[in-house]
């Protein structure tokens, strides 16, 4: 990836720089390296964030505590929403968080409104850092019918 995003622009810059002044050639090389490195950095950052979200979902579904989130604000349309919610951890401390949720292709978001109560999964040891609404976790975790019968709130 680095060779493609940095090497190719540098190579084409070299081929097109014949007849240019030496200072212009240096600027062409620097611009190619800078923009190529920017593309690589952005790709790595998005990949790490997606991997972390997937790992958090699996970990919270397996080891997290389940609570009830009271939706305070729901702003958005049928394809994406910004949701501000409040929940209480195992020690009874109030936690207020915000989540941005986008719909998957061809599947609109469920109809949510302020005042709704939906399940939230959180890490009992770090509830501020690791917590997700159930509609976020449901994308990455398959729930068996037995688990849905044991916890009917998780199916909503």
How many CA atoms, within 13 angstroms, populate the side-chain half-sphere of residue 72? 9
* Per-residue pLDDT tens digits for 58-108: 777 778 888 899 999 999 887 888 999 999 989 899 999 998 888 776 677
User: Is 138:101 a contact under the CB 8 Å cutoff?
Assistant: no
147: tokens are: 């688990």
Q: Which neighbouring-strand residues pair with 94? A: 88
For the chain, the residue count is 156
Of the listed ranges 7-16, 54-63, 117-126, 128-137, the one predicted with least confidence: 7-16
pLDDT at residue number 156: 47
118 membership: H or E segment, kind and range: strand 117-122
* Per-residue pLDDT tens digits for 11-40: 665 565 555 565 666 676 777 778 878 888
Q: The whole model's pTM is what?
A: 0.57
């Amino acid at each position: 990836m680095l060779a493609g995003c940095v090497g190719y622009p540098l190579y084409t810059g070299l081929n097109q720089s014949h007849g240019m002044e030496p200072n212009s050639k240096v600027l062409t090389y620097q611009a190619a390296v800078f923009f190529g490195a920017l593309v690589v950095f952005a790709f790595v950052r998005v990949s790490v964030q997606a991997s972390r979200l997937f790992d958090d979902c699996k970990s919270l579904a397996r080891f997290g505590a389940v609570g009830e989130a009271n939706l305070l604000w729901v702003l958005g349309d049928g394809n994406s929403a910004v949701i501000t919610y409040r929940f209480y951890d195992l020690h009874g401390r109030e936690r207020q968080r915000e989540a941005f949720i986008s719909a998957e292709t061809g599947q609109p978001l469920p109809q949510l409104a302020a005042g709704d109560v939906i399940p939230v999964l959180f890490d009992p040891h770090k509830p501020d850092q690791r917590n997700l609404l159930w509609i976020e976790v449901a994308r990455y975790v398959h729930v068996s019918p037995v688990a849905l019968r044991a916890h009917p709130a998780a199916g909503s």
